[in-house]
Amino acid sequence: MAAKNMRLGIISALYEEQQGLVEAMQSPYKLVHGMREYFAGQLWEIDAVCVLSRMGKVAAAMTAMTLVEKFQVTHILFTGVAGAGDKSVNVGDLVVAESLVQHDMDASPLFPRFEVPLTGLTHFSADHQLSLRLVSTAHNFLEDEFVSVISPEDQQTFRLSQPRVHRGLIASGDQFISSRKQLEQVNQALPGLVAVEMEGTAVAQVCYEMGVPFAVLRTISDNANEDAATDFMHFVKSVAAQYAFHIVKRFCLASKEALA
């Protein structure tokens, strides 16, 4: 029997980032809407809907809105990969968003830089309780399962030595950050940045405006520099997808317990 009071929407940009979740669903059914496939069922006794948004803020916003309006999800979780936003964040680390900002939003001088016009906001805060649950499950995964889930070869290939969990600011934009100069510019404008990606803040804005709690989990796949595209898909398939599957499983089990 599904846990009460939660229908979890799970969004990822790429197929590989959600690998295994649909297969793990109990009694899944598929609905095609707006050129996307939505899979609804139960994940570890939590009602859930999994969907791929595709890359970019517009695609992510449309997907999040559909989850809320058509599928009546009560909570949203975005999982995927990101570039490191700070030198202290390494490939293989996990980032849980505290807040999110669009680094390419600039309607100045009409509005302050980064402010989303007519909202009065530059930053959108993730739900505190969901984020704490994500942090806890991410820590537990790294402590209990990382060594057995990620092959020794992939640990060596990607230099995954003692991955860590970070909480902080994530910046989204319709750009794949792939140069040190780009990253430095974003860093200077947004102190405290821990990750850069292309979808999270769009989902955050939709959730803010619709009153839906959300959380964002990112696996660091690159250092947002000139080497960012090297072995990207290999990392997503072999590392990030494994992280996401096992952490989402733990997250659902913890949510079930919290709702009991």
Please write the tens of the pLDDT for every residue from 130-182: 999 999 999 999 999 999 999 999 999 999 989 999 999 999 999 988 888 88
Q: What percent of the chain has pLDDT over 70?
A: 96
Please say whether the beta carbons of 205 and 67 come within 8 A. Answer: no
Name which of 206, 221, 227 is nearest 73 in CA terms: 206
pLDDT tens profile 204-257: 999 999 999 999 999 999 875 556 556 788 899 999 999 999 999 999 999 999
Cα separation, 144 vs 138, whole angstroms = 10
Please say whether the beta carbons of 127 and 240 come within 8 A. Answer: no
Widest CA span in the chain: 54
For 70-168, where are the alpha helices, taking DSSP H only?
128-144, 146-149, 152-157
> Looking at residue 196, what is its pLDDT?
96
Full-prediction pTM beyond 0.85? yes
Using DSSP, state whether 203 is helix, strand or coil.
helix
**What is the rounded average pLDDT of the residues 99-103?**
98
Name which of 3, 147, 17, 161 is nearest 82 in CA terms: 17
What residues contact 37, with CB distance under 8 A and at least 6 apart?
Answer: 30, 31, 51, 52
pLDDT confidence tier of residue 202, bands split at 50, 70 and 90: very high
> Looking at residue 1, what is its pLDDT?
41
DSSP code of residue 4: T
By residue count, the chain amounts to 260
Sign of the alpha-carbon torsion through 76, 225, 101, 258: positive
Please say whether the beta carbons of 252 and 8 come within 8 A. Answer: yes
Which phi and psi (to 5°) does residue 109 adopt? -90, 5
Radius of gyration in angstroms for the set of CA atoms belonging to the chain, rounded to a whole number: 17
Q: Please tell me which residue, 224 or 17, carries the higher pLDDT value.
A: 17
Quick one: 220 exposed, middle or buried, by C-beta within 10 A (0-12, 13-18, 19+)?
Answer: buried
Quick one: 106 exposed, middle or buried, by C-beta within 10 A (0-12, 13-18, 19+)?
Answer: middle
Please say whether the beta carbons of 70 and 209 come within 8 A. Answer: no
Displacement of CA 106 from its chain's centroid (Å): 23
For the chain, where are the alpha helices, taking DSSP H only?
21-24, 57-69, 128-144, 146-149, 152-157, 180-189, 200-210, 232-235, 241-259
Pairing of strands 7-12, 46-52: parallel
**What is the rounded average pLDDT of the residues 104-109?**
96
